[in-house]
C-alpha cells in the first residue's frame, strides 16, 4: 500500500545545519554592517582632517573596519563552502534513501540517467540554497542600510533615491521570474541527455555489434541545441537585467550626488558627509550584487524543485505485524497489476503450499517477472492482495518482510566489497560457514576459490562470466534463507548441467522453505512440484509439468528445441 502525500521541501529555510546557517547569516550581516559603518567613519575622518583637528582615532577606526571586513569575508567564504557541502551531502543521502524506499517505480518514472543527474548535479545546486539565502539577506541589507544612512545624512538624499527605487524593484522581480524558467528548462534538458547516455552505456555491446556508434552518439546529443538555447537565454536574461540596472543605478547615484552638492553649497552637509553619501548611494544601488545572488538562488530553487519531484513519489509503507509460525504458504487473491492502461495480470488467484517448489512459465510478456515481484512485494498490485502464511504482505513490518523472503535475479546487482560480503549481504551477522555452504549449493564455491584472494577477492577485481555472476546471486539468495525464495529467471545464464544440479538442490531442500521459480526451460519446470502456466494475464492451469506437457499450447511455450522435445526430462 502506498500513499501520495505532499512531501516537505528538500531542505528547510535554514537547511540541515541550522546553527551553521544562522552563524553564516550573522557573519554576512556583520560584514554588511561593517561596510555601512566604513563610509561614515571615512567621512568623519575627512572632516577632521580638513578642519586640522586630531583625526588619528578615526583613521584607526577606518583601518579596523577594513581589517574586520577582510576577516568577515574570509569567515563567510569558509562557512559558505562547508554549509554547501553539508547540505549537498544531506540532500544526496535523503534522495538516495527515498529512491531505494520507492523501489523500481522511481526508475520506471524518471529513468536511471535522469535520477543520477538529479542526485549529482541538481543536489549540488540545491545544496547552495541556504548559503544563497544568507547571501541574499546580506545583499538586501546593504541597499536598505544605504537608504537609511542617506536619510540620516539628509532626508532629501533618501527621497531622491526612493523616487527611482520602484524601477529597480520591478527589474529584479522580472529577472527572478525569467531566470527560474530558464534554469528549470536547462536542468530538464540535462536530465534527458543523462538518461539517453545511461541507456547507451547499458546497451554498449549491442551498439558496438550493430556498428551504430555514430547514430547513438547523435541520439544522446540530440537535445544539445535545446540545452544551448536554454543556456544562452539564461545569459541573455542576466545580461539584460545587469544592463538595465547599470542604466538606472548611475542615474540614481548622480541624483543623490547632485542634491548632496546643493546641500553642501548651502552648508547643510559637510564635505565628509558628501563623501559618505556617495558611498551610500553606491551601496543603495547595489543591484549587480542582488542580480548575482538572485540568479544563484533561482538555480538552487529550480534544482530543489527537481528533487521535490522525486521525493513526491510515495515510498512503500509497511505495517506493524510479524509472521506467525508457518511453512511459507504463498497465496495471491484476485491480484491485478497494470502497466499503463494494460492489465499484465488480471484477477490472478494462485496458492503455493508451504515447502513446495512452483515453476511459473509463460510466453514473453505473460507477466512472469511481475508476478515474482508481487510475490516478494517488490511491486504493488493495483487490486487484490498477496499473503504469506495468511498475513497480507502489506501488513508486515519491513524487517519481517525482507527477513522472510529471499530473491535471486537474472542479472544480480553485485554492489562491491568482497565476494564473501556480497554473498552474506542480507545476513544479520557475519557467518563464513553459512556463506560457504550457500556457495556450494549454488555451485559457486569452486570458481570462487580459484579467484586471486578466494572469498576475500573484491567483486570489482573478480573476473567472471555471466553464469558465474548468476551463481553468486543464487548463493546470496541461498544464504539469506527465509520462508519464501523467489528466483526470477535466475538460472537463465547457467549451463544445463549446473542448472540441473541447482534445480535439484532446490527441490531436494538445498534451499529451505517455499520456492517460486520463473522458468524458461522445460527441464527447470519439470523438476518443480507444480507449474503455474500464465497466459493472457491469467493463470491458465496449475499442475505437474508432465500433465501439462500433453497440451500442445503448453509445449509451444518452450519452443521446439531439444529441451522441449523430450519434455524436459533430461
Q: What pLDDT is recorded for position 244?
A: 63
Q: What share of the chain in percent tops pLDDT 90?
A: 28
CB 131 within 8 A of CB 24: yes
CB 153 within 8 A of CB 270: no
Upper half-sphere CA count for residue 491 (Cβ side, 13 Å): 27
pLDDT band at 570 (very low <50, low <70, confident <90, very high): very low
Domain boundaries 18-311, CATH class: mainly alpha
The whole-angstrom separation of Cα 285 and Cα 251 is 10
Q: Which range is least confidently modeled, 42-51, 149-158, 344-353, 459-468? A: 459-468
Cell numbers for 87, please give them. 547540505
The whole-angstrom separation of Cα 182 and Cα 24 is 29
pLDDT band at 139 (very low <50, low <70, confident <90, very high): confident
CB 408 within 8 A of CB 486: yes
Q: Which CATH superfamily is domain 330-561 in?
A: P-loop containing nucleotide triphosphate hydrolases (3.40.50.300)
Q: Is the pLDDT of residue 243 over 70?
A: no
Cell numbers for 84, please give them. 554547501
Q: Which range is least confidently modeled, 67-81, 95-109, 375-389, 489-503? A: 489-503
Q: What Å distances lie between residue 135 and 20, 85, 130, 374, 395, CA to CA?
A: 14, 16, 9, 50, 48
Q: Which range is least confidently modeled, 154-158, 408-412, 510-514? A: 510-514
Q: What pLDDT is recorded for position 9?
A: 42
Q: What pLDDT is recorded for position 292?
A: 67
Mean of the pLDDT values across residues 97-104?
Answer: 86
The whole-angstrom separation of Cα 563 and Cα 150 is 93
**Higher per-residue confidence, 405 vs 190:** 405
Q: What angle do CA 300, 302, 129 make, to 5 degrees?
A: 20
Mean pLDDT (the chain, rounded) = 84
Residue 336's DSSP bridge partners are 383
Cell numbers for 387, please give them. 499473503
The whole-angstrom separation of Cα 53 and Cα 245 is 41
The whole-angstrom separation of Cα 311 and Cα 99 is 8
**Dihedral of the CA atoms 475, 479, 483, 485 (nearest 10)?**
-10
pLDDT band at 15 (very low <50, low <70, confident <90, very high): low
Q: Is the pLDDT of residue 182 over 90?
A: no
Could you tell me which of 423, 411, 441 has the C-alpha nearest to residue 501? 441
The whole-angstrom separation of Cα 245 and Cα 236 is 14
Q: What pLDDT is recorded for position 11?
A: 45
Q: What pLDDT is recorded for position 58?
A: 92
Could you tell me which of 427, 564, 565, 569 has the C-alpha nearest to residue 503? 569
CB 466 within 8 A of CB 405: no
| Domain edges within the chain | 18-311, 330-561
Phi first, then psi, for residue 4 (nearest 5°) are -110, 105
CB 465 within 8 A of CB 454: no
Could you tell me which of 448, 421, 443, 442 has the C-alpha nearest to residue 432? 421
Q: Which range is least confidently modeled, 49-58, 156-165, 345-354, 388-397? A: 156-165
Start-end of H helices in 103-212: 104-110, 112-117, 123-126, 129-153, 155-202, 204-210
Upper half-sphere CA count for residue 154 (Cβ side, 13 Å): 24
> For the packed helices 129-153 and 271-284, what is the interaxial angle rounded to 10 degrees?
150
Amino acid at each position: 500500500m502506498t500513499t501520495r502525500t505532499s512531501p516537505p521541501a528538500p531542505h528547510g529555510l535554514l537547511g540541515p545545519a541550522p546553527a551553521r546557517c544562522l552563524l553564516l547569516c550573522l557573519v554576512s550581516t556583520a560584514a554588511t554592517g561593517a561596510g555601512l559603518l566604513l563610509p561614515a567613519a571615512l567621512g568623519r575622518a575627512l572632516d577632521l582632517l580638513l578642519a586640522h583637528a586630531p583625526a588619528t582615532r578615526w583613521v584607526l577606526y577606518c583601518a579596523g573596519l577594513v581589517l574586520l571586513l577582510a576577516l568577515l569575508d574570509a569567515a563567510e567564504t569558509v562557512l559558505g563552502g562547508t554549509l554547501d557541502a553539508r547540505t549537498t551531502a544531506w540532500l544526496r543521502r535523503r534522495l538516495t534513501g527515498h529512491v531505494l524506499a520507492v523501489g523500481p517505480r522511481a526508475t520506471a518514472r524518471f529513468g536511471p540517467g535522469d535520477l543520477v543527474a538529479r542526485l549529482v548535479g541538481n543536489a549540488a545546486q540545491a545544496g547552495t540554497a541556504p548559503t544563497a539565502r544568507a547571501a541574499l539577506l546580506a545583499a538586501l541589507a546593504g541597499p536598505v542600510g544605504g537608504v537609511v544612512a542617506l536619510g540620516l545624512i539628509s532626508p532629501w538624499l533618501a527621497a531622491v533615491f526612493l523616487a527611482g527605487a520602484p524601477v529597480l524593484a520591478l527589474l529584479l522581480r522580472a529577472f527572478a521570474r525569467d531566470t527560474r524558467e530558464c534554469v528549470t528548462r536547462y536542468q530538464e534538458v540535462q536530465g534527458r541527455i543523462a538518461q539517453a547516455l545511461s541507456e547507451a552505456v547499458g546497451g554498449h555491446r549491442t551498439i558496438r555489434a550493430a556498428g551504430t556508434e555514430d547514430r547513438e552518439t547523435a541520439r544522446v546529443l540530440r537535445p544539445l541545441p535545446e540545452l544551448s538555447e536554454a543556456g544562452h537565454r539564461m545569459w541573455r536574461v542576466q545580461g539584460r537585467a545587469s544592463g538595465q540596472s547599470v542604466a538606472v543605478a548611475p542615474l540614481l547615484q548622480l541624483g543623490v550626488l547632485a542634491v548632496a552638492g546643493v546641500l553642501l553649497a548651502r552648508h547643510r552637509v559637510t564635505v565628509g558627509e558628501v563623501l559618505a553619501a556617495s558611498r551610500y548611494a553606491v551601496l543603495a544601488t547595489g543591484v549587480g550584487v542582488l542580480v548575482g545572488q538572485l540568479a544563484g538562488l533561482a538555480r538552487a530553487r529550480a534544482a530543489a524543485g527537481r528533487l521535490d519531484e522525486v521525493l513526491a513519489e510515495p515510498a512503500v509503507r509497511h505495517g506493524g505485524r510479524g509472521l506467525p509460525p508457518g511453512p511459507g504458504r504463498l497465496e495471491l487473491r484476485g491480484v491485478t497489476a497494470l502497466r499503463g492502461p494494460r492489465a499484465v495480470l488480471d484477477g490472478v488467484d494462485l496458492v503455493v503450499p508451504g515447502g513446495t517448489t512452483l515453476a511459473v512459465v509463460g510466453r514473453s510478456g505473460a507477466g512472469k517477472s511481475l508476478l515474482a515481484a508481487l510475490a516478494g512485494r517488490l511491486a504493488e498490485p493495483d487490486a487484490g492482495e498477496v499473503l504469506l502464511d495468511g498475513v497480507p504482505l502489506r501488513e508486515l513490518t519491513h524487517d519481517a518482510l525482507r527477513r522472510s523472503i529471499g530473491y535471486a535475479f537474472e542479472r544480480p546487482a553485485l554492489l562491491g566489497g568482497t565476494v564473501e560480503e556480497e554473498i552474506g549481504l542480507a545476513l544479520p551477522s557475519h557467518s563464513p560457514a553459512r556463506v560457504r555452504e550457500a556457495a556450494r549449493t549454488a555451485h559457486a564455491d569452486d570458481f570462487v576459490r580459484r579467484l586471486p584472494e578466494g572469498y576475500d577477492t573484491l567483486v570489482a577485481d573478480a573476473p567472471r562470466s555471466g553464469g558465474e555472476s548468476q551463481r553468486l546471486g543464487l548463493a546470496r539468495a541461498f544464504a539469506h534463507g527465509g520462508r519464501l525464495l523467489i528466483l526470477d529467471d535466475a538460472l537463465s545464464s547457467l549451463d544445463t548441467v549446473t542448472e540441473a544440479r541447482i534445480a535439484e538442490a532446490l527441490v531436494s531442500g538445498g534451499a529451505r522453505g517455499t520456492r517460486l521459480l520463473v522458468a524458461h526451460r522445460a527441464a527447470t519446470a519439470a523438476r518443480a512440484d507444480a507449474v503455474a502456466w500464465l497466459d493472457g494475464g491469467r493463470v491458465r492451469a496449475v499442475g505437474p509439468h508432465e500433465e501439462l506437457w500433453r497440451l500442445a499450447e503448453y509445449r509451444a511455450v518452450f519452443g521446439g528445441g531439444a529441451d522441449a522435445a523430450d519434455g524436459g526430462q533430461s
